[in-house]
C-alpha cells in the first residue's frame, strides 16, 4: 500500500524508492538472522523481503513524475494485486477453502485463487480509473486480464516468491495492455 502515498509524496522517483530499499534491507536482515520474530512467526520465507523489493523495482522502472512516460500507476496496479489480492487469497483460502490442490507440495485452494482473481480485478480497476487515465469499461477489461495473470502466477509460485512474481507479471501485463489500448 505504501506505493500509493509514495507516488504523491515524492517529486523524484529516486527519493521515493529509498525507503523501499531500506525496508528491503531491514526485512532481509530479519529473514536471515530472525531479528523480528513477529515478522517471521508463520515460518520463514522470503516473501517479506520480496514485496518491498518488488515495490522498489517496479516504481524504479515505471514511475517518472512529471514525465509523459510516467507509468507509476501501472506499478501500483501490479502491487495491489499482491497487497490485496494475494492477502485475500490467503485469508479466504485458509478460512473457506475446501477445493484443495497442491503445487510442488504447497497447498492451494480454488476459493483462494478465485478470491485472488476477484480482489485483484477490483483493486487494479480502481487504480486504473483513479490514478491512470482509462475509463471504467476499459479498466475493467484490462483489470480482468491482469488479474487472470496474477491469480495464475500466484497459484504456481511457491515459498513466498509470489510477492515478487505476481507483482512483476501483473505489472508487465498492465503495461502491455495500457500501451496497446492507449
- How far is 84 from 17, CA to CA, in rounded Å? 21
CA distances from 181 to 59, 70, 127, 172 (A): 22, 16, 16, 14
- How far is 181 from 168, CA to CA, in rounded Å? 20
- For CA atoms 137, 59, 21, 169, give the dihedral sign: positive
pLDDT surpasses 70 at 28: yes
Helix, strand or coil for residue 109? Answer: strand
Q: What is the pLDDT of residues 101-128, one digit of tens each?
A: 988 888 899 999 999 999 999 999 999 9
Break the chain into its structural domains and give their ranges. Answer: 3-181
Q: What is the pLDDT of residues 146-179, one digit of tens each?
A: 999 999 999 999 888 999 999 999 999 999 999 9
Can you give the pLDDT at residue 14? 93
Amino acid at each position: 500500500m505504501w506505493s500509493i502515498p509514495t507516488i504523491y509524496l515524492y517529486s523524484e522517483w529516486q527519493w521515493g524508492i529509498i525507503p523501499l530499499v531500506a525496508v528491503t534491507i531491514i526485512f532481509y536482515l530479519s529473514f536471515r538472522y530472525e531479528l523480528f520474530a513477529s515478522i517471521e512467526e508463520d515460518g520463514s520465507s522470503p516473501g517479506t523481503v520480496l514485496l518491498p523489493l518488488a515495490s522498489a523495482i517496479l516504481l524504479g522502472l515505471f514511475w517518472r513524475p512529471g514525465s509523459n512516460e510516467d507509468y507509476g500507476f501501472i506499478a501500483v496496479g501490479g502491487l495491489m494485486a499482491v497487497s490485496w489480492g494475494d492477502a485475500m487469497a490467503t485469508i479466504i483460502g485458509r478460512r473457506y477453502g475446501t477445493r484443495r490442490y497442491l503445487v510442488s507440495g504447497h497447498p492451494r485452494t480454488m476459493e483462494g485463487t478465485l478470491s485472488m482473481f476477484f480482489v485483484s480485478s477490483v483493486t487494479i480497476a480502481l487504480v486504473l480509473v483513479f490514478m491512470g487515465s482509462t475509463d471504467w469499461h476499459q479498466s475493467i477489461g484490462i483489470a480482468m486480464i491482469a488479474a487472470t495473470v496474477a491469480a495464475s502466477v500466484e497459484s504456481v509460485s511457491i515459498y513466498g516468491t509470489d510477492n515478487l512474481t505476481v507483482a512483476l507479471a501483473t505489472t508487465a501485463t498492465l503495461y502491455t495492455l495500457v500501451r496497446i489500448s492507449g
